[in-house]
Structure 1
Amino acid sequence: MSTKFELSAETRDAKGKGASRRLRRVGKVPAILYGASKAPMTILLDHNQMMRHLDNDAFHTAILTVSVGGEKDQAILRDWQMHPYKPQIMHVDLQRISATEKLHMKVPLHFTGEGVAPGVKQEGGIVAHLMAEVDVTCLPKDLPEFLEADLSGLHLNQSVHLSDIKLPEGVVITSLAHGGDNLAVAAITTIKVVEEVAPVVAVPAEGEAAAAAAAAPAAAEGEAKKAEGAKKPEAAAKGEAKKAEAPKKEGK
């Protein structure tokens, strides 16, 4: 059975973005209460109280008692929005529920027996969590705070499936009830070790290294001669230009 929480709310008359900003500045959270064949109601919640509740995992799957103007409704938390970068709640959605109508909710999975599982303790495997929560269907009075998956008997390469989870009376896993796949929720697998392979650098043989060393000075000398040869035509061209220019000066 889930933990009980009670929320004190106020009716909200002012609407719109500007009004919502003003309300948040004075520590209020705009919210809506809807469902159970009743008209939706815009309400205000205390921001600090809601922040404390949202930090409690049990709050997210609990049946909430919402008091508005002396009237009480049973509800569940359906959604909430946070500010992109500030620790501020922007809006909350609460859905009324009926005690006689089944609801479906996502409840968290808690894993037990990991440390004593043979696949971990004796066979060197590691636990892989494949699901963090499960959608269940039940009456509000039967809604569990969480479900447990026991891994204590698992060997290497074995897994626990949805059908292996022990369910409280009156609770069913929604997907299995509708013929869905019996998916694994956790498994024990081997540890993969990836070895880094160093790049292979070719080392020349002793004779090849000596030949390369001997050829290096000769190659450098050849490059120097080419550069010197390129300079000679350039100097000759400059001399011819000066000769051609000399008669012009005499004519003046």
Structure 2
Amino acid sequence: MSDAFTLNVEKRDVEGKGASRRLRRLAGKVPAIIYGGKSEPQNIQISHKDLVHHLENEAFYSHIISLVVDGKAEDVILKDLQRHPAKPVILHADFQRVVKGQKMKVSVPLHFINEASAKGVKQGGGIVSHLVSELEVNVLPKDLPEFIEVDVANLELGATLHISEINLPKALESVELAHGHDLPVVTIIKPRGMGSDDTATEAEGEADAE
């Protein structure tokens, strides 16, 4: 994992919805909170512009972030983000403290590879359909990955790949699997208008032509 993202933040003394609205509108700041570990929760405020800039990087969502408060840095992960339903505005952010040697629950983005060459696409003419875009895992801070690769090269038309079939690094434990839920992750579906026998019929036609 690369070096942590760094954000300079300020303590926030005023609370309440009205204060938060004024903070966003007049100061261009996002109200946020740091919690977890052995310290008390701390209200902070972050530059909206700086936060949005970092959010453009996918790794920010599953990466250790260094929040600098009054010159003191705290390692955290982004735990929750509230966005305005109609405007490109961040309303609030929750950050959880990272405790060295203690596992944490993190949602890690999935990167699907070999889609164009997958059996169900190349041989069956299917379309790859992502059923989930991230996977929640339990992991030590030092082993936190920026993403998890999901190889669909051998996935056939109509087949579905589940969490248990992902080649997870040993350091990661799927939260869903730990609870006995082997959820579907990706499948290859037939394009609209393609009947169940279309592929076979097409192959037979080609054979007859020869």
TM range (shorter): 0.7 to 0.9
Match of 1:212 in 2: none
Match of 1:187 in 2: 187
Match of 2:81 in 1: 80
SS in 2 for 1:38: coil
Given that 1:82 and 1:88 are in contact with CA atoms closer than 8 Å, whether structure 2 keeps it comes out as yes
Shift of 1:68: 0.7
Distance 1:59 1:120 in 2: 32
Shift of 1:194: 8.1
SS in 2 for 1:149: strand
Flag structure 1 segments of 5+ consecutive residues without an equivalent.
196-252
Distance 1:67 1:142 in 2: 23
Higher relative contact order (CA 8 A, sep 6+): 2
Moved more, 156-165 or 70-79: 156-165
Match of 1:15 in 2: 15
SS in 2 for 1:167: coil
Letter paired with 2:22: R
Match of 2:48 in 1: 47
Distance 1:93 1:81 in 2: 9
Given that 1:2 and 1:61 are in contact with CA atoms closer than 8 Å, whether structure 2 keeps it comes out as no
Letter paired with 1:144: P
More helix by share: 1
Distance 2:31 2:61 in 1: 18
Shift of 1:176: 1.7
Match of 1:110 in 2: 111
Q: Note closer, same or farther for the CA distance 1:174–1:17 as it changes in structure 2 (3 Å cut).
A: closer
Flag structure 2 segments of 5+ consecutive residues without an equivalent.
196-210
Match of 2:155 in 1: 154
Q: Please report the TM-score for the alignment, with normalisation by the length of structure 1.
A: 0.71
RMSD: 2.0
Q: Equivalent pairs: percent with the same residue?
A: 47
Distance 1:40 1:7 in 2: 18
Q: Note closer, same or farther for the CA distance 1:161–1:72 as it changes in structure 2 (3 Å cut).
A: same
Q: Note closer, same or farther for the CA distance 1:29–1:192 as it changes in structure 2 (3 Å cut).
A: closer
1:31-87 superposed Cα distances (whole Å, 9 cap, x missing partner): 111110211111111110001112221111111111111222111111122233332
Distance 2:184 2:17 in 1: 45
Shift of 1:20: 2.5
Bigger Cα Rg: 1
Given that 2:176 and 2:183 are in contact with CA atoms closer than 8 Å, whether structure 1 keeps it comes out as no
